[in-house]
Amino acid sequence: MNVYIFTSIGKRISSYPEDTLSEVFDRCKSLSNFYRQIIVHRLDNQILYTYLRKIDENSFLGLSVVLDGAIDDLRILWQSFEGCVTDFLNDGVLLSYTQSSGIVWTEHGILESQEEVNLKRHNLEILLKKRTKGHLRQIPPVDFSVSIDSIKQHSISDAIEDIIYSCHTFGYTVIVPESNEDAIRPNRYQTLIKKISDENSSLKEKNKKLLTKKKQLKIVSILAVVLLFAVVGICFLTDNLKSTKNALSNANDTIGFQRNDISQKSMRISNLQILNENLQSELRTEYDKRIEAENKLYEISDNIRRRQPFVITKTSFNFSTGYFSFDYYGMEEKYVRFVVCAFSEDGEYFYNNNYALYVYKGHHSHSVYFSSDLNRGKYYSFLIKERDDLNVVIGGGRH
């Protein structure tokens, strides 16, 4: 089983032919000789970074991103990719921990977990967009003198200039960590449960040895009594029986103490298991709440985006210069053509339809020249409408 989860910064990965990508990923898998590595392959004017995490002898988890240049800080990719793998493990999506702290595939494949996988791919894309900003270098034209199947290997500690040169020059560049050890560690609950399980196994083994010693002690005591009876005689029988009784009593006391200790440890294990189940239930509940809130936020944002290209938050008008200014919150980046209308209380009407604005996401401001003929002694109501659909009022204000 091999799973690849794609994301991209720039051109969508779907713009590349499926057979081309399949050939690239097969080639990347054949070059994977470590538990963790990043394999780099140039795609025209972009670079494909593929992180491969070995799960068992025959399968990998792959995380791939297409960037519009060569990244100058590989730690950004390592930390982002391995953080994503840890999220998969902690949430039990595709991957899970074994009792011995190993990593295996879950019973639910990628089709059953499609919604959770898409959410984590989306989160990874947002994180990489933020972290790679200002860290991408433009790559030179393709050097056709170098074979497209050429291979170059680097350690992550190598000079970044050498790595960047290899990434846009050679067909495939393999980047490996300084150590081949697994950097993904189990969470604290898995570690605690394993520790308690080991303690329980040790106590059971000790108890088994004590029971064996008890049986041996009984046999030795019986033989001692018989021998003493034969050698010393009936006159010493009472004292020897009393001594044997005391020895058995002490042994029984010792066994009783050990049994109480085992019982307490078993109770502790049971309590911790219940606590773990409760925490897992709370985690699932909080995850469901987060998904529900994100879906509601998306629906609200989508409704606003379909109706409003941007939201007016504040307006002002300078009667001296004739400039109309407004603050807005952009829902998406696009060009918007709009008109501005002004109405006075006594029926004066002013109109201008020659405005165009490239809307940026988030909070921004913009000013347009409207008219310097308005009477500052009057109040005017300003309306901003879409130029292509005058029934859509974007916003306005009274000044």
DSSP letters of 53-88? EEEETTEEEEEEEEESSEES-HHHHHHHHHHHHHHH
As a whole number, the mean pLDDT across the chain is 83
Q: What torsion do the CA atoms of 196, 197, 200, 201 make, to the nearest 10 degrees? A: -140
Query: What does the pLDDT look like over 132-141, one tens digit per residue?
Result: 999 999 988 8
At residue 293 the predicted structure's pLDDT band, cuts being 50, 70 and 90, is: confident
Look at the block and give the residue holding tokens 């009057």. Answer: 378
Given a contact cutoff of 8 angstroms between Cβ atoms, the answer to whether 381 and 343 are in contact is yes
Q: List 330's β-bridge partners, or say none.
A: 310, 362
The average pLDDT across 5-12 equals: 56
Backbone angles phi, psi at 229, to 5 degrees: -65, -40
The average pLDDT across 28-34 equals: 88
| % of residues, the chain, pLDDT over 70 | 87
HSE-CB of 360 using CA atoms within 13 angstroms: 6
**Range scoring the smallest mean pLDDT among 119-123, 178-182, 222-226:** 178-182
Q: Is the pLDDT of residue 236 over 70?
A: no
The average pLDDT across 75-80 equals: 92
More confident residue, 252 or 316: 316
Give the model's pLDDT for residue 182: 55
The average pLDDT across 335-345 equals: 92
Query: What does the pLDDT look like over 38-60, one tens digit per residue?
Result: 999 998 888 999 999 988 888 88
> For the whole model, what pTM was predicted?
0.47
